[in-house]
Homo-oligomer: A and B are copies of this chain.
Amino acid sequence: MKTVKILLLGFGVIGRGFAKVLLEKSEYIKKKHDVELRVVGIGEHNGCLVDEKGIDLKAALELREKGKWIDSLPQWKKMSAKDMIKSIPADLAVEVVPSDIKTGEPGVGLLEAALSKGLHVVSSDKCAIANKFSDLMVLARKQNKWLLFEASAGGGMPLMNLVRECIQADEIRSMEGILNGTTNYILTKMSRGGMDLETALREAQELGYAEADPTYDVEGIDAAAKAVILANDIMGMSKKFSDVKVTGIRGITKEAVQLAKKNGYVIKLIAEIKDNKLSVGPKIIPENHPLNIESNLNAVMFKTDIGKDIVIIGRGAGGRETQSAIFSDVLRICKDLQS
């Protein structure tokens, strides 16, 4: 059995989700994939937990579940995550930091450090990837390392891996989809529940689907960042965030939603990648359209030259659901590593 040494960069919701799923499924993964995934370092903003024999993930999780930091553990080192990347031998970095949408930092710096050190990288960090897609891909290619980021767009729903591994002969002509669960929840509540936007948003916040500051969701910015990633990765474009024509859902009234409904339509926040153009904005679609999915689900429709329309629907976010994508990327890389 091969052992793959992992540096986990970030120990927030996604980072802890990774540790939890690894604890739960390491035996399954050993048996099915003949690989031991061993976390040898966890990078936090104020220091790192380092153990080349494998971090005690259970202890780290228990501390954090009690609201405590992990700096009381004996393996804690007052070093930066970048220094950990440079000094601790590993095969793969899992970067799950929430970066700034305007700069992509601190994620970009961590991704560059990991690739430069010769690590393969898996990332869920849409802000870093969307900001520096081309530079990071060039660096990964130069280093001959994998840089995979299925979790950065569409959470638990396979999109980039689906195209790369399952429809390899197809050319993707266009993509459209619902890439933000918060706004989909709001629009569903406005359509089915007859709520106005503010009430639906408050409900989404109470359920933890929306942040206290929901600007990035409601204004379409989150969906636009994901559209950039998908356009570049799946359709070979070189788009930036500023290339996306973005309209949010602030202007959608209860009356507009109800009028659409009366006529057999729904309003959805649709990201579209077509004819070398990217847009995110509210669109009216028939209620029997495959993209008319409810609650906080995400969905994407690929139009291809052979298989025609292929739609995938799944959970676009969630500390646990997102691990489906992260582990998928990790195991894809493990397949290529020597024992």
Contacts and interface: CB of A to CB of B under 8 A. Distances in A.
A170 interface: yes
Interface string A302-339: 00101111111111001011011101101110000000
A306 B294 contact: no
A290 B288 contact: no
A175 to B, nearest CB: 14
B306 A324 contact: yes
A171 B331 contact: no
A228 interface: no
A324 B162 contact: no
Contacts of A328: 166-169
Given A166-B328, A167-B328, A306 B321 contact: yes
Given A169-B29, A328-B168, A311 B309 contact: no
Contacts of A166: 158, 161-162, 165-166, 328
Nearest to A326: B169
Interface residues of A, number: 47
A157 interface: yes
A21 interface: yes
A21 B307 CA distance: 11
Q: How many copies does the complex hold?
A: 2
Say what secondary structure dominates the interface of chain A: mixed
A310 B312 CA distance: 7
B314 A309 contact: yes
Contacts of A311: 311-314
B310 A313 contact: yes
A323 B330 CA distance: 29
B313 A307 contact: no
Contact of A324 (B307, B313, B327): B307
A310 B300 CA distance: 12
A313 B290 contact: yes
Nearest to A22: B169
Contact of A167 (B25, B158, B170): B158
B165 A310 contact: no
B331 A156 contact: no
Interface of A: 21, 25, 28-29, 32-33, 156-158, 161-162, 165-171, 192, 288, 290, 292-294, 297, 304, 306-315, 318, 320-321, 323-325, 327-328, 330-332
Going nearest first, the 5 A-B pairs with the smallest beta carbon separation are: A307-B324, A169-B327, A156-B307, A158-B166, A165-B165
12 contacts: A29-B169, A156-B310, A158-B162, A158-B166, A158-B310, A166-B328, A168-B328, A168-B331, A307-B323, A307-B325, A309-B314, A310-B324
